[in-house]
Structures are given as C-alpha cells and as structure tokens.
Structure 1
Amino acid sequence: MRYASLKEKYTDIEDYNSWQEDTIPANKITLVNNGTHAGPKTPLVLQTIRYLAQNADNVTIQTPYVICNGYMYHTLNEIASHARLKIILNAVEKGSNPWGCTDYLNQKKKILNTGADVYELMNEVPVHTKAVLLDDRLSVVGSYNLDMRSTYLDTELMLVIDSKELNQQIQSTESTYIEKSKEVLSNGQETEGGQYETKVLNWQKKLFYGVLRIIIRPLRQLL
C-alpha cells in the first residue's frame, strides 16, 4: 500500500536515473547521536559539535530556540572565544514554541554574554531547521535543538557532512535568514536586516509571556 501510494505520487520512482545530477558529492558523512536508550543521556551530540568547532574560525548555529544550562553556556563561550559564532533562532514575535520563546526572554543576556551574535529571525513562518556550519566545509544537520531536552534526554541524530558544496548551499539559506533577522550583540547594539519586518506583540501576548516568564523559572530543566 505504501509503495503503491508513493509510485502514484512519484511517477518516475522505478526508472529515475538522475542521481548524479540531483545529489552533491561529500568526502565523508558520519552519523552521531546521544544514545537510543531511555532515560538521561551523555551530551554526545553537543560534545561532537564542541570538538569539531575547536579549529573553526566561523561557526553558525541554526536552531528553533535556545534553552541552555551551565555546561551548554560554557560550550558556546568556548566556541565564541576563538571563532565568530552566530546563532540564528526564531524571534519571539514569530516563534511557535512558547516555552522556548519565554526562556529566551529570561536568558537573553546570558546567551549574548557567551560572545555569540544572535539573529532573531522574522521569517514568514517559524523555521524548524537544526544545523551547524563550521567554516566553509563541514555541515552538521539533523534533529538536535540547542536545548536541554535534546542535549540530555531525547534521542537525537545528526549527520556530520564534509562537503563544501552542501555547506555553500546551507550558507546561502542562512544568509537569507540573516537578512530577515534582527542582529543583537552583547553590547546591546541591534541591527535590522534588509528584509526584516517588524512585528509588535499585542497586549495579550505581552501579558501571556510576562506571566509565563515567572512560571517557567523553576521548570527550566523540564523544557
């Protein structure tokens, strides 16, 4: 049944022969995960990103939202100490995860104090992409959010792909997202991208986030 439905949707599924034209060469692809067992996990995905970033000059992290503990902040600080670190996340005005948005409002200064340049993305719809770009060669893509659940609890899979062509394609997408973002620096400077569209929260949303900012403080470990 499944194959029949796919064959109906993709009529060339049996005689498709354009793999070389439609794929990108890669020197190496490595699958990383933080364990498939139930319960707490070692943060292997984040440790892998930290290791790969050691010799990088430019690191870009695309994540729907950021919810960090001390170790995660330390990792970001370590990366930013030797590389230009960019974090692209959904702006609160556009975010679809109220918990992630609220924690960002509470933790924004801590995130900026790591030395990262933060880009608050105002895309037409919230972006759910999870990717890390290291210079112009390595791309780490998959299911890992930069939050505590992905780091210590959920089973997450990421592919480390050594491919300049793929890295360039993703960099191009990230450049578009940056144009749709407000850049926020640790010194308080804010710069709107050329395609940034301002959206003001109504009073109901402001009240909602104001209350939620208090409620979630003791619950951060569960987000």
Structure 2
Amino acid sequence: MDPSWSLIAVTVIDLTIRIVAVIIVPRNRRPTAGMAWLLAIFFLPIPGLLLFLLIGNPRLPRHRRRRQQQINEYIHEAREYLELGSLRPNEPAWFTSLVRMNRELGAMPLTGDNGARLIRDYDESLAEMAAAIRSAREYVHVEFYIFKSDETTDDFFRALEEVRERGVPVRVLLDHWANLSKPYHRRTLKRLDAMGAEWRFALPIQPLRGKWQRPDLRNHRKILVVDGDVAFLGSQNITAPSYNLRANIRRGLQWVDLMVRLDGPIVSSVNAVFLSDWFSEASEVPEGIDLKKMEAGSGDLDCQIVPSGPGFEVENNLRLFLGLLYAAQKRVIMISPYFVPDEALLLAITAATKRGLQVELFVSEEGDQAVVYHAQRSYYEALLRAGVRIWLYPKPYILHTKGVTIDDEVAVIGSSNMDMRSFGLNLEITLLVRGEEFVQQMREVEAEYRDLSRELTLDEWLQQPLRSTVLDNLARLTSALQ
C-alpha cells in the first residue's frame, strides 16, 4: 500500500475515534470522569479506546439490570413488613428527610428498638461471629468481599462445619475476582464443598459460561446473618489481617477494622440485602426465610440499611454522605482508608469547615494500593487549607475502618469507602444509626485512633518533594476513569 494512503487511513481512524468519543463518552457520566476518559482517548487513541471498551461502562449488563429491577421490587414489597419497632422521639427534621431520600433511592425502612455494639479487635470480631454461627438453629448467611480459610479464620470455618453437621443450611457469597487472586482460594472452596455449604461467586468473571460484566465491578459487602436474630457488618473481611499476601507480609502490613453486631428489627433489613444478592447469583430466593420474624433488640437505636452499587440508578452512598455533611451543625468525623472524593463531596466537606464545623479525617499513613494512595494524597492540600484536621494512622497498619459521625446523635458504618470506586463501581452496604449511645461508641474508637495517629499539618505537607506532587496529580487523573 502507498505510504500516503496508510497515513490517510491512520488519520481518518484517529479523527473518527476522537469525534465518536466526544459524542459517546460524556453521556450520563460525571464531568470529571468524562474529561478523564477523553484525555486518555485523545492522548492514546487506540489504547484509550480499548481501555474504555473494557471498563468504560460502570453499569451491570442488561440481564443483571433486569434482575436488579426484580430485586428492587422485592425490596419495595418487603418494606411494608420491615418497618418495625418504635422510633425514638424528637428526631431532627433533616434526619426524617434524609431517611426518606434513602428510601426513595432503594434503601430499607428506618426501624426502631435495635441493639448495635462495635467490635474493634480483629480476632475478637472473628470469635464473636464464630460464636453467633454456633448458635444457629435455622440458617447462616455469609457474604464477604474476601473469604479465606486460613489459620486466622479456622475457628470461623469450624463453626460453619459444626452447624452443617447439625443440618443447618449455610449459604455463602464471595466476590469472584477478589478471591481468585488471593492465596488459599482453592482450599477455601474445597472446605465449603466438604461441609456441604451452598455457595456462589458474586459478580463472576466467567465468559465461557456467559457470565461477564465490567471486570472491576465488585461486591464489596461484608455481612453475616444468623437465624434472622443477629447480624454483623462493617469493614472486616474473613481472612488474616495481612490478607496472606507476600508483599503485605514483607512490609509488615496489618489491617485495622471495625465491625458492628446488630440485633432487633434491623437484622431483617440486612438479611434482605443478602437475599437480594443471593437471588442475583442463584436466580432464586431460599424458602423458609421469614423477614417478618423479629422481636425488639437489646437497645432502642433507630437504624436504616442503605445498599448501593452499579445496580442502582444513582450513587446511594454518596448522596447519604452529602446529606449528612450538609445537615451537620457541630462536627463531622470521617474514617476512610481510601479517600478520593468527587467534586460534590469535596465541596460539602470544605463548606462544612466554612460554616464553622469541626471536621476531621482519619486515613492511613501508608497505603497498600499505590494509585489510590497517591490520588488520595492529591486532596490533602485543599483539605488542610480549608481547615480539615487530617490524622495519619501509623504504619505498618492499614486503617481499614469506614465510618462517619455527625454531631452527637447520628453515625454511619459499613463497607463503603469515601472514594469514587465505592460510590460507582462497588456493591456496598451502609448502616445509618440514630442514637447518642452508639455515637459515643464511635467517639471512643475515634479517640483511640487519634491517640495512635499523628496530625498532618499544612506546613509539613508543603515540604513534599516535587516527584510526590507529580505522582499524586497523575493518580488523581486516573482515579476519575469511572
């Protein structure tokens, strides 16, 4: 072929890609995400296009969206009998409207008469979950992002084996991609099979079996439900605190997590989320599960479960965080291992400081994911200049807790980070709680973290070398590729 014709063909293809990208990429996408994708495609047309085709669609496949619609209808029908317990009096007007917004977006109803107790210690959390499993008479529902049978979790698995020997059904959901790449994967599946547990991969990447979606859409939830009487949720996975990864062990990294034990009507809402996820993967809902069966719990907390993820029309968790930030009147304390806010969240945080609120952010001094770590750092200067106090939890620990407290009466805890991945790509579960006694528990955790951490100052931050600033800014651009 004449070289001139080759050049013309390449030029036409290049221009076509750029023009089509301008039309297609920004549609129904955040401006920051659209701009990031356009920059990638304009600078590297062919690689950028291939990457966009691979991970450019943040939504589930059409057949899974249809199934999600069935799930949403199931949740909507379940709301009538999940609205249980007597609510606390004198709720703020903003709290009532926030709860209504959550329900409009697909959350469960607000329930009263609930007990909620935080568990800070990693091993203690596993021991309490194992003890709850051993009390099972009807069923055990397990759903964790990472789920591994190793030395640390052996007692948890032995508890599952013991109840299976008594004939109690055990159902397990574990994220496919996250577990596939971690040690002890085959051993874990063999142990589940040997005990007779029913298990499914969440969001499996199995194209030969017709199971395919954007590969980085993940089920990030952490849930345990026993008999509909007690539930656990939070940030902790079922694995060793190093995740058994050689790189983590070599660096001495250990994860620090926070779980909450729940009893009362709210357990049915947690169970409804599990059952909806089980239906997504198994195409059926187990028989004999009575979501109406729930007595008053050990406390009188008002609680609401807010599920979020690519199956919903909007980012439910982001809107919850925004509502809380704008409603706060005294203080906002945030704990997030991966903090990469979008423009709306950054504006809400900086606006809170300008309104005179005390705003604090707890993050890890050291990161386990380089791109996210540097993207997070790119926001520190703006936060510090706005008056946000940033606390760095000391290495070699990774502060993996995810929680927010608002004033003295409202808090959230769950699996959701405050980053764009958790807002748009991950299936998450968040617990909204109203009650001074629960916020006091969170305050004790915050005080413990504060004592262990050191405060990052603006003067210290401005001494960062240029190479760090360049890496941070580049990572910030790539983080917007949603």
TM-score > 0.5 by shorter chain:
yes
Choose from 407, 422, 441 the match for 1:150: 422
More off after superposition, 104-113 vs 56-65: 104-113
Distance 1:128 1:101 in 2: 13
Deviation at 1:179, TM superposition (A): 1.3
Question: CA separation of 1:209/1:96 partners in 2, compared to 1, >3 Å: closer, same or farther?
Answer: farther
Kept after mapping to 2: 8 A contact 1:64/1:130: yes
Aligned to 2:223: none
Aligned to 1:219: 478
Structure with bigger RCO (C-alpha 8 Å, 6+ apart): 1
Distance 2:427 2:414 in 1: 11
Deviation at 1:109, TM superposition (A): 0.8
Deviation at 1:74, TM superposition (A): 0.6
Choose from 57, 62, 77 the match for 2:335: 62
Question: CA separation of 1:26/1:222 partners in 2, compared to 1, >3 Å: closer, same or farther?
Answer: farther
Distance 1:214 1:185 in 2: 20
Question: CA separation of 1:213/1:51 partners in 2, compared to 1, >3 Å: closer, same or farther?
Answer: closer
Distance 1:164 1:97 in 2: 35
Q: Percent identity?
A: 20
Q: Does 2:411 align with 1:139?
A: yes
Kept after mapping to 2: 8 A contact 1:57/1:135: yes
Equivalence map 1:14-53=2 (5 Å): 25-37=299-311, 42-53=314-325
Question: CA separation of 1:151/1:61 partners in 2, compared to 1, >3 Å: closer, same or farther?
Answer: same
**Secondary structure class of the residue paired with 1:29:** strand
Aligned to 1:180: 452
Deviation at 1:5, TM superposition (A): 3.8
Kept after mapping to 2: 8 A contact 1:87/1:118: yes
Amino acid at match of 1:63: S
* CA offset digits 1:122-169 (Å, max 9, x no partner): 155211110001122212011111111112332222110113222212
Distance 1:36 1:152 in 2: 6
Distance 1:5 1:219 in 2: 42
Question: CA separation of 1:163/1:9 partners in 2, compared to 1, >3 Å: closer, same or farther?
Answer: farther
Length, aligned pairs only: 197
* CA offset digits 1:64-94 (Å, max 9, x no partner): 0211232221121122233211110001xx3
Kept after mapping to 2: 8 A contact 1:60/1:87: yes
TM-score with structure 2 setting the length: 0.36
Kept after mapping to 2: 8 A contact 1:67/1:146: yes
Distance 2:300 2:457 in 1: 34
Distance 2:322 2:443 in 1: 20
Distance 1:46 1:115 in 2: 22
Kept after mapping to 1: 8 A contact 2:375/2:473: no
Question: CA separation of 1:127/1:57 partners in 2, compared to 1, >3 Å: closer, same or farther?
Answer: same
Question: CA separation of 1:146/1:210 partners in 2, compared to 1, >3 Å: closer, same or farther?
Answer: same
Amino acid at match of 1:58: R
Distance 2:472 2:320 in 1: 32
Aligned to 1:199: none
Deviation at 1:104, TM superposition (A): 2.9
Kept after mapping to 2: 8 A contact 1:32/1:157: yes
Question: CA separation of 1:44/1:121 partners in 2, compared to 1, >3 Å: closer, same or farther?
Answer: same
Q: Does 2:360 align with 1:86?
A: yes
Q: Which runs of 5+ in 1 are unaligned?
A: 191-205
Aligned to 2:437: 165
Distance 1:36 1:76 in 2: 24
* CA offset digits 1:82-121 (Å, max 9, x no partner): 3211110001xx3222222212333321232343111111
Distance 1:189 1:218 in 2: 24
* CA offset digits 1:172-206 (Å, max 9, x no partner): 111111112221345x379xxxxxxxxxxxxxxx9
Task: Please identify the structure whose Cα radius of gyration is greater.
Answer: 2
Aligned to 1:195: none
TM-score with structure 1 setting the length: 0.71
Equivalence map 1:98-137=2 (5 Å): 98-122=370-394, 125-137=397-409
Aligned to 2:159: 6
